[in-house]
């Protein structure tokens, strides 16, 4: 646990209120978070790609003003008295902004961590808790002293929630920590932090669980509810019906005993509920509300009925009829990519990441005429890249809506699982590859069976979506993937190589001879080699030389994900120096080499 003291913050008086009467239509809005004030009359909406927060009046049903920000907002938290709004800027040099709501001006900006995502306040308002996605930490920010304590947690912490008594904090994670083949069990975790002792208890979600995007805690503090995907990576991807490849799940955590209580599926028998994201528990504890970013829906679940059903259920994690048994409502939101929601003024308010509208839904809505849409502002004309991003996240174009591209390639990267795609044989699953720079570094599969990214995009639509889609959709996805850029590594220091990494660079280009294959702008010569890592039917196989750009982000490593770390690639799984001349390097030289590679 680290403790860092920051000063009084950076006063940002120049960043003033921008009137909604003159909207900025040069940027997409991309709502990523929404919260309401105590009275339920006002919503604060983080608009990620517009670098602003919109303030929406739930009575007048209009945006009344916007607050310009010095970066991309990730999440929001409002003090209990409503006087202070805290906002994370979700960037490599992450910030925590404090806004005075009396005048909607930035009061302070504080350094926090790498890509802060979620934020919550302790009930007494003394602590702000922030998940730093790529530092793998949770920051505890003292609102009086501005001191920060960082607690190390599992990989890619994303969302969090705190109990009403402030004793426990629950954190969700997007990706697994382990090697892909380890113990035939791999999953993302949830972390429970004892806020007094600052100790962490990790709980494994069911085998194949990834992308735990949302969490909420019941008002009685007994249970937490976590949304996530459940990948059936142990099955060949030769069909999609009945969730054969991916199902979409809700795990229930026993907060009293820090254990997994149960997991239920959110899908119906022949209709997936892809990419569950945000989740809210109603103040009376009777209802759960879950947004489905892939199918543009919101689920309304009777919590009492759910727990009653679980007392008699057997193997609930495999029961595609569970939601029918508890009478779940699926409501089309009419916004694209709903990732966040809030309860305010007697309604559910849902924003879509790819929409410029906000939906208002009556809690017991069964008819579409009870849903209303209101404008959040103007946006520019949709480019091919933006349309491609929308399609990449869209499960409605998949047969029975089970998954989207982002189900296995979050943010265009990788889910950390092995999949048997049948494109280079049967029974030899391969690690999901990041699609970053995939168009620039063909081939896109580790064995080269698909010659380029264009072939992979079209193959994915046909053989993973099980649909024949128009060519213009594939072309748009190409444009989206071409628009991706590497994120600055958390191993760098203010974006620059550390002293260790500089020493590692000399080893990389010198005695280790890594640059013989990992060369050029993307650190790959795009050739295939037998590096001695193939086993079973893949023994003596030549594998494509992967790009090392953003390699820090896509563990586990090697074609089958057996190496948890880059150090294991260079040592444990490089016995004959076929993967670089590392056997005679000292421990400190290995450390420097690893530091350099992870800084790329």
Give pLDDT, residue 508: 98
* Mean pLDDT, residues 365-394 taken together: 90
Give pLDDT, residue 9: 35
pLDDT > 50? residue 18: no
pTM, to two decimals: 0.94
Q: Which of 159-173, 195-209, 321-335, 361-375 has the lowest mean pLDDT?
A: 361-375
Average pLDDT taken over every residue of the chain? 93
Identify the helix (H) or strand (E) that includes residue 504: helix 499-509
* Mean pLDDT, residues 580-592 taken together: 97
What are φ and ψ of residue 351, in 5° steps?
-110, 150
Query: pLDDT of 510-556, one tens digit each?
Result: 999 999 999 999 999 999 999 999 998 999 999 999 999 999 999 99
Q: Which of 416, 438, 467 is the last residue of a domain?
A: 416
What's the structural domain count of the chain?
A: 2
Q: Examine the domain organization and report whether 410 and 503 are in the same domain.
A: no
Spatial separation of the C-alpha atoms in residues 395 and 417, rounded to whole Å? 20
Give pLDDT, residue 21: 36
Give pLDDT, residue 12: 32
Asked if residue 272 belongs to a domain, the reply is yes
Identify the burial level of 366 via C-beta atoms within 10 angstroms of its C-beta, where 0-12 means exposed, 13-18 middle and 19 or more buried.
Answer: exposed
Asked if residue 125 belongs to a domain, the reply is no
Spatial separation of the C-alpha atoms in residues 88 and 111, rounded to whole Å? 10
Give pLDDT, residue 285: 96
* Mean pLDDT, residues 72-87 taken together: 96
pLDDT > 60? residue 460: yes
Asked if residue 409 belongs to a domain, the reply is yes
Instruction: Please report which confidence band the pLDDT of residue 314 belongs to, taking 50, 70 and 90 as the band edges.
Output: confident
- CATH code, domain with 573: 1.10.760.10
Q: Which domain holds residue 290?
A: 157-416
Instruction: Please report which confidence band the pLDDT of residue 183 belongs to, taking 50, 70 and 90 as the band edges.
Output: low
Asked if residue 258 belongs to a domain, the reply is yes
Asked if residue 201 belongs to a domain, the reply is yes
Q: Examine the domain organization and report whether 409 and 313 are in the same domain.
A: yes
Q: When comparing pLDDT for 31 and 184, which is higher?
A: 31
What are the percentages of helix, strand and coil residues in the chain, rounded to 5?
20, 35, 50
- CATH code, domain with 369: 2.130.10.10
* Mean pLDDT, residues 337-343 taken together: 97
Task: State the Cα angle at 136 between 131 and 138, rounded to 5°.
Answer: 35
Asked if residue 427 belongs to a domain, the reply is no
Highest mean pLDDT among 65-79, 174-188, 352-366: 65-79
Q: Examine the domain organization and report whether 389 and 513 are in the same domain.
A: no
Identify the helix (H) or strand (E) that includes residue 389: helix 384-392
Cα end-to-end distance, the chain, whole Å: 26
pLDDT > 70? residue 47: yes
Q: Which of 389, 416, 443 is the last residue of a domain?
A: 416
Asked if residue 107 belongs to a domain, the reply is no
Report percent pLDDT > 70 for the chain.
95
Give pLDDT, residue 426: 85
pLDDT > 50? residue 4: no
Report percent pLDDT > 90 for the chain.
88
Highest mean pLDDT among 169-183, 256-270, 362-376: 256-270
Q: Which of 376, 391, 416 is the last residue of a domain?
A: 416
Query: pLDDT of 141-178, one tens digit each?
Result: 999 999 999 999 999 999 999 999 999 999 999 999 98
pLDDT > 50? residue 8: no
567 near 584, Cβ under 8 Å? Answer: no
Give pLDDT, residue 25: 61
Give pLDDT, residue 365: 67
CA–chain centroid gap for 596, Å, is 26
Question: What sign does the CA torsion over 396, 398, 402, 406 have?
Answer: negative
């Amino acid at each position: 646990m680290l403790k860092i003291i920051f000063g009084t913050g950076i006063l940002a008086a120049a960043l003033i209120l921008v009137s909604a009467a003159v909207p900025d239509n040069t940027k997409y809005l991309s709502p990523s978070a929404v919260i309401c004030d105590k009275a339920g009359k006002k919503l604060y909406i983080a608009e990620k790609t517009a670098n602003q927060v919109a303030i929406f009046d739930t009575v007048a049903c209009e945006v009344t003003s916007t607050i310009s920000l010095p970066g991309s907002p990730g999440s929001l938290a409002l003090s209990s008295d409503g006087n202070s709004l805290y906002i994370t800027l979700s960037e490599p040099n992450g910030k925590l902004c404090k806004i005075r709501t009396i005048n909607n001006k930035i009061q302070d900006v504080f350094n926090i961590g790498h890509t802060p995502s979620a934020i919550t306040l302790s009930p007494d308002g003394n602590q702000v808790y922030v998940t730093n996605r790529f530092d793998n930490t949770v920051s505890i920010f003292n609102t009086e002293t501005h001191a920060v304590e960082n607690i190390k947690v599992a990989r890619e912490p994303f969302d969090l929630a705190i109990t009403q008594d402030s004793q426990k904090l629950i954190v969700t994670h997007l990706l697994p920590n382990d090697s892909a083949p380890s113990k035939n069990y791999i999953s993302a975790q949830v972390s429970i932090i004892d806020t007094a002792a600052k100790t962490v208890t990790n709980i494994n979600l069911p085998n194949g669980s990834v992308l735990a995007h949302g969490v909420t805690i019941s008002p009685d503090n007994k249970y937490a509810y976590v949304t996530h995907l459940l990948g059936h990576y142990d099955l060949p991807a030769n069909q999609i019906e009945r969730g054969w490849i991916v199902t979409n799940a809700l795990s229930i955590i026993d907060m009293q005993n820090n254990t997994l209580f149960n997991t239920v599926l959110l899908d119906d028998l022949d209709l997936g509920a892809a990419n569950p994201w945000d989740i809210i528990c109603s103040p009376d504890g009777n209802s759960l509300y879950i947004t489905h970013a892939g199918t543009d829906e919101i689920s309304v679940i009777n919590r009492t009925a759910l727990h009653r059903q679980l007392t008699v259920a057997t193997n609930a994690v495999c029961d595609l009829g569970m939601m029918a048994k508890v009478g779940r409502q699926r409501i089309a939101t009419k916004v694209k990519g709903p990732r966040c929601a809030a309860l305010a003024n007697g309604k559910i308010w849902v924003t879509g990441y790819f929409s410029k509208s906000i939906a208002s839904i009556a809690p017991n809505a069964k008819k579409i005429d009870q849903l209303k849409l209101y404008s959040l502002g103007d946006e520019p004309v949709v480019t091919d890249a933006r349309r491609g991003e929308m399609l990449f996240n869209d499960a409605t174009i998949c047969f029975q809506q089970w998954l989207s591209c982002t189900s296995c390639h979050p943010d265009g990267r990788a889910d950390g699982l092995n999949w048997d795609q049948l494109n280079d044989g049967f029974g030899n699953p391969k690690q999901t590859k990041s699609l970053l720079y995939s168009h620039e570094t063909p081939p896109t599969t580790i064995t080269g069976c698909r010659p380029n990214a264009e072939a992979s995009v079209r193959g994915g639509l046909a053989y993973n979506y099980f649909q024949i889609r128009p060519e213009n959709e594939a072309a748009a996805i190409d444009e989206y993937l071409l628009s991706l850029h590497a994120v600055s590594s958390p191993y760098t220091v203010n974006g620059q190589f550390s002293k260790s990494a500089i020493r590692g660079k000399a080893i990389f280009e010198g005695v280790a001879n890594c640059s013989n294959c990992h060369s050029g702008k993307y650190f790959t010569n795009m050739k295939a080699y037998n590096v001695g890592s193939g086993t079973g039917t893949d023994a003596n196989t030549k594998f494509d030389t992967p790009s090392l750009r953003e390699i820090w982000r896509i563990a586990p490593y090697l074609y089958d994900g057996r190496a948890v770390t880059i150090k294991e690639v260079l040592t444990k799984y490089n016995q004959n120096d076929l993967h670089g001349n590392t056997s005679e390097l000292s421990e400190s030289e290995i450390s420097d080499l690893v530091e350099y590679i992870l800084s790329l």
